[in-house]
Amino acid sequence: MNEPIQNRYDFIYLFDVKDGNPNGDPDAGNLPRIDAETGEGLVTDVSLKRKVRNYVVLLKDYKPPYDIFIREGGVLNPLIDKAFEDERVKNVEKKSDKTKAAREVMCERYYDIRTFGAVLSTGKNAGQVRGPVQFTFARSVHPVVALEHSITRMAATDENEKTGENRTMGRKYTIPYGLYMAHGFISAAFAKQTGFGDEDLAILKEALVGMFDQDRSAARGEMTPRVIVMFRHDSYLGNAPASRLFEMLRIKPRIDTPRSFEDFNVTLPEASQLPEGVNLEIYTPETGWTRS
């Protein structure tokens, strides 16, 4: 397994969407997810992880140790069974040790298991993995409005439809603009169990910057990472509560109906504000990654 990271990290991920649906809700006809009480938009952690996985696929082309376990349309049990065919697992006699050995093989091969964890007991039992990297739901920092658009298909599917006057109608849902914020956590303790190392962390940071550019579609509109704030703790378990660090980023709309990132006052954390033992790294599209 990789040499795991030795430091805890907490991060803030700030991104926006313009004229798109960042995460449709299948329970609501694929409308953008919205908190019914506050009107704030939501994007699930699962959606963000899916985009990270898709970026790693493009970057590493399913090649170990950066293969992807949770694939779109994939079948999981044969991949779990394959781990038990590895010689390192075959040579283990005790059942509990065999389970542990298979789990280690899976962590070694698959980037997303090493990063996000997985349930590996649906076929041959390789146990469960609790991943060191976790996201919260992303929530817009202001209320958003879901718009419904009627669309028509001008081409016919067969000759009978072609002779008719009707056109196939459809619906498309967007929000005009939303600025979303998610929080993330990277545990050195869980990284020790999965082998999540410095190179894995570098790939995660690269994915957070580039994943929207590789996931364009008409439905999603324009999605852009605006700010990533990465807090690195000097210690294994951390030097300050994550909530205290997250409060250092302040966002305030300049107008009642924001329609761009420029419509917000964003105050970034500064090195002078940091608790002892915490370091700061910030990404913006204008400056790239900078440390302080």
Q: Given this model, what pLDDT does residue 104 score?
A: 95
The pLDDT assigned to 92 comes to 87
Reported pTM: 0.94
Residues 191 and 196: their CA atoms lie apart, in Å, by 5
Query: In 3D, which of 160, 189, 153, 139 has the Cα closest to residue 38?
Result: 139
CA dihedral 224, 113, 70, 30 (to 10 degrees): -40
Q: How many residues does the chain have?
A: 292
Beta pairing partners, 41: 34
Integer angstrom CA distances of residue 71 from 51, 149, 193, 200, 248: 11, 31, 23, 18, 36
pLDDT tens sequence for the chain (292 residues): 679 999 999 999 999 999 999 999 999 989 999 999 999 999 999 999 999 999 999 999 999 999 999 998 899 999 999 999 999 998 988 988 999 999 999 999 999 999 999 999 998 999 999 999 999 999 999 999 999 998 887 777 777 766 666 666 788 999 999 999 999 999 999 999 999 999 999 999 999 999 999 999 999 999 999 999 999 999 999 999 999 999 999 999 999 999 999 999 999 999 999 999 999 999 999 999 999 8
d(CA 52, CA 287) in angstroms, rounded, equals 22
Any idea what the Cα angle at residue 262 is, between residues 260 and 266, rounded to 5°? 120
- Check: CB of residue 27 under 8 Å from CB of residue 78: no
- For every residue of 161-217, DSSP letters joined together read HHHSS--EEEEEEEEEEEEEEEEEEE-HHHHHHHT-BHHHHHHHHHHHHHTTTTS--
